Amino acid sequence: METTTRNATLADLRDMLMEQQARKVDVIAPASQITAVNGSLRVAGSEPVITPDGVTSADGMYRPTEVCDEGVASKLDIPPSYLKRLRQVRPDLYDANVNGWLHGNAEADSDARNFLVRLFRGDDGGEGIARAFLSDRFAIIDHLDALMAAMQGVQQAGVTVTVKGCDLSDRRMYVKVEAPEVKAYAPEILRGYRSPFTGASGSDNPTVFAGFVISNSETGGGALSIAPRITVQVCSNGMTVTKDALRAVHLGGKNEEGVIRWSQDTNDKTLDLITAKARDAVATFVNVDYMRRVLDGMAEAASVKIARPDEVVRSVTKRLAFSQEAQDQVFSMFIEGGQITAGGVMQAVTAAAQTVGSADESAEMESQAFRALELAAAQWPTATRRGSRHE
């Protein structure tokens, strides 16, 4: 089963999520029912639940993802880098550490800790996938439900939109939405810029479009969010304005032991809230006045000229903790973009974000674009403002 995708269509993402939905099992299990065996997690003793699809049980063997291992490390207070190394070189010690911290503190079977384990069933009773190890207070908002509810809210808002691309990782889902009819001109930001992908000139076509990105995690990677996103027409660079995002946190009341089957009433209330948030997000973000305020707030910093590009770009990307590969790609995009300003650094970050293989890294880079602009503009005295006495 495919669990991740990059730059997929909305239809492809929906089909993948529907297949995943059919394989999902979520169980609240006490520590005593979970055991590490040869680097996998065995769930045993969970109570079967009768559903319209048949009898559902979580019992079986599941291979943890990296995200699941991070959850195990967090909940059992094991250093994550240590646990990762054990998985790579000493799976026997992986088992010993996990089992020791799961079962070693129990007194006469009185260990009361419960965990939410999110699973995918394997084929024909074979080993499945353990995709998350979470608190029993984690409130589940599934990708498919979140996506359908959010798109319903967009439809209710009455704005024509286009889904520009969808990404799915083990951590999060990302759906990038653009409103082609809601646009503005940003010549002060795109002056002197050329697309590293097509060579098109930003000065000749300084058009930007309003939009937003829908993001959700099923595995503890943060809240469901709907954040504004501005897209540059000449290169499809996207900048996410995370400070204005609407969020729904995955935190609820304590769940009871056993396989989780949410009531229809609970699901309806959650999805109604997501639909309302999406409708509000469209009304707030897909708006020329909002986009103009964001662009005006960027204009002065974007005009700051960079005197020593190599130093500035390397300094900014290191400060933002980008991977070495991403740092190199940002510098390459900066040179190809030809815009030797702080705005050019921002454009290089968003252009590079389109080329990295990791959906999570791409989203993080887009969310850091405005911070990259601020840092580049602050690189005195290597940066100067147009028209200043330093120029």
Distance CA 284, CA 282 (A): 5
pLDDT of residue 250: 57
**pLDDT category, 380, cuts 50, 70, 90?**
low
pLDDT of residue 54: 58
Q: What does the buried/exposed string (b/e) look like for 128-147 if buried means 16 or more CB atoms within 10 Å of the residue's CB?
A: bbbbbbbbbebebbbbbbbb
pLDDT of residue 386: 47
Look at residue 94 and tell me whether its pLDDT is greater than 50: yes
**pLDDT category, 139, cuts 50, 70, 90?**
confident
pLDDT of residue 249: 59
10 Å CB burial of residue 199 (0-12, 13-18, 19+) is exposed
Look at residue 241 and tell me whether its pLDDT is greater than 50: yes
Q: What does the buried/exposed string (b/e) look like for 79-105 if buried means 16 or more CB atoms within 10 Å of the residue's CB?
A: eeeebeebeeeeeeebbebbbebbeee
Strand partners, 217: none
pLDDT in tens, 165-185: 999 999 999 999 999 999 999
Distance CA 188, CA 203 (A): 9
Indicate the average pLDDT of the chain.
88
| Mean pLDDT (whole number) for 278-289 | 90
pLDDT in tens, 60-70: 999 999 999 99
**What percent of the chain shows pLDDT beyond 70?**
88
Element (H, E) at 335: helix 324-337
pLDDT of residue 247: 72
Least confident of 90-94, 305-309, 324-328, 358-362: 305-309
Distance CA 190, CA 183 (A): 14
pLDDT of residue 349: 97
**pLDDT category, 389, cuts 50, 70, 90?**
very low
**pLDDT category, 388, cuts 50, 70, 90?**
very low
pLDDT of residue 104: 80
| Mean pLDDT (whole number) for 267-272 | 78
Least confident of 7-11, 240-244, 264-268, 297-301: 264-268
10 Å CB burial of residue 10 (0-12, 13-18, 19+) is middle
**CB proximity list for 260: less than 8 A, separation 6 or greater:** 26, 27, 28, 116, 140
Distance CA 363, CA 240 (A): 8
For the chain, the distance separating the N- and C-terminal CA atoms, rounded to the nearest angstrom, is 57
pLDDT of residue 102: 94
How far from the centroid of its chain's Cα atoms is residue 251's Cα?
18
**What percent of the chain shows pLDDT beyond 90?**
73
pLDDT of residue 265: 60
Nearest to residue 159, comparing CAs of 288, 249, 52?
A: 288
pLDDT in tens, 323-360: 999 999 999 999 999 999 999 999 999 999 999 999 99
pLDDT in tens, 31-70: 999 999 999 999 998 776 645 555 678 899 999 999 999 9
The number of CA neighbours under 13 Å toward the Cβ of 195 is: 19
Q: Are 369 and 240 in contact (CB under 8 A)?
A: yes
